Homo-oligomer: A and B are copies of this chain.
Amino acid sequence: MPVLVVENKTDGNRAYCTMNEGIGAVLRFGAYSQEVIDRLHWMKNTLAPVLSAALQTKPDGLNINVLVAKAIAMGDEFHQRNIAASLAFLKEVAPAIVTLEGFEKEKPEVIQFLADTDQFFLNIMMASSKAVLDGARTIEEGTVVTAMCRNGHEFGIRISGMGDEWFTGPVNTPKGLYFSGFSEEDASPDMGDSAITETFGVGGMAMIAAPAVTRFVGSGGFHDALKTSNEMLEISIDTNPNFPVPTWDFKGICLGIDARKVVETGILPVINTGIANKQAGRGQIGAGTVTPPMDCFEKAVLAYAKKLGFEE
């Protein structure tokens, strides 16, 4: 399967993402029906060549930071809501696609798919977050979280001072809204690598940018979103001035979750996430929020203390 490439120009490293298939019955949520396979073949044989040709007309690629900065002012938090960023992406590539020589049959299909796929930018945001955080991992001290990931069984984090080591604890199950016909009984425990977005400072960490998302978890209104983001700031090392949030008085998004602050305050990162069916092959059945277990942060901080020579 072809992938999109995101380059961290500051540090020279790259990260990669498959292209977003949409929601519902999709491979990344475990579905593998003929419809899913057919779509993947179409993405490989039609979407990828057209998008690749269009992107290659731009010698410097697309500036992802600009798209993120635009879209965060348009209510995206980039985990559950990517509608603005996906439109901004469409706006950048549509003129290039239409101008391509050839691909006459494919162009309308590709434009229609990109126009319909509100979450297309999610995967790009994940790869961008990964590229930035792999750059951050070159700083080999401190307790800043450099990855958060889960496999339906354990939740794992890495911190800057402990390199490639994972610190894990048992996963929780997301709370949220379910697609018609599904309920919490059908939900898989927390799963997937998309929490790299929260590690970067978006998703649940940037809830205030997307108050519409708070409605996914029941009572949510603007003040719930504000409260969440203010709490997330307490466990972050700073704000990121590249991405000011108008609804947060133009404060930048949270930058760098500090595992020590998580342990000290007892405040866990909030993750906005899709919910998979616990039965393999069924796909996504809803979306909501979830938190990591405190265990992994405690283990990471204790390991780092030990590395520095402090005894438990």
Interface residues of A (CB under 8 A from B): 70, 73-75, 83-84, 87-88, 90-92, 94-95, 97-99, 107-108, 111-112, 115, 210-212, 215, 221-223, 246-250
B94, B112, B212: the one within 8 Å of A115 (CB): B94
Closest 10 CB pairs of A and B: A87-B87, A95-B112, A211-B246, A74-B74, A99-B108, A212-B246, A91-B115, A98-B108, A221-B249, A98-B111
Pick from B87, B88, B99, B222: contact of A247, CB below 8 A.
Answer: B222
Q: How many copies does the complex hold?
A: 2
A and B contact pairs by CB, cutoff 8 A, 14 listed: A70-B83, A73-B75, A73-B212, A74-B83, A75-B75, A75-B246, A90-B90, A92-B115, A95-B108, A98-B107, A210-B246, A211-B246, A222-B248, A222-B249
Return chain B residues, CB-CB under 8 Å to A84: 74, 84, 87
Q: Which of B107, B211, B222, B249 contacts A223 (CB 8 A)?
A: B249
A172 to B16, CA, bound (A): 54
Q: Which of A87, A88, A97, A112 has the most CB of B within 10 A?
A: A87
- A21 CB to closest chain B CB, in angstroms? 18
Q: How far is the CB of A125 from chain B (nearest CB, A)?
A: 17
Shortest C-beta distance, A96 to chain B (Å), equals 9
A84 closest partner in B (C-beta) = B74
Question: Residues of B contacting A115 with CB < 8 Å?
Answer: 91-92, 94-95
- Given A73-B75, A212-B246, 13 more pairs with CB closer than 8 A: A70-B83, A73-B212, A74-B84, A75-B246, A90-B91, A94-B115, A98-B98, A98-B108, A98-B111, A99-B108, A211-B246, A222-B250, A247-B247
For residue A18, give the distance in angstroms from its CB to the closest CB of chain B: 22
For the complex, what is the distance from the CA of A94 to the CA of B107, rounded to whole Å?
A: 11
Q: Report B-chain residues with C-beta under 8 Å of the C-beta of A94.
A: 90, 94, 111, 115
Q: In the assembled complex, how far is the CB of residue A77 from the closest CB belonging to chain B, in whole angstroms?
A: 12
CA distance A246 to B222 in the complex (A): 7
> Which residues does chain B contribute within 8 Å of A90, judged by CB atoms?
87, 90-91, 94
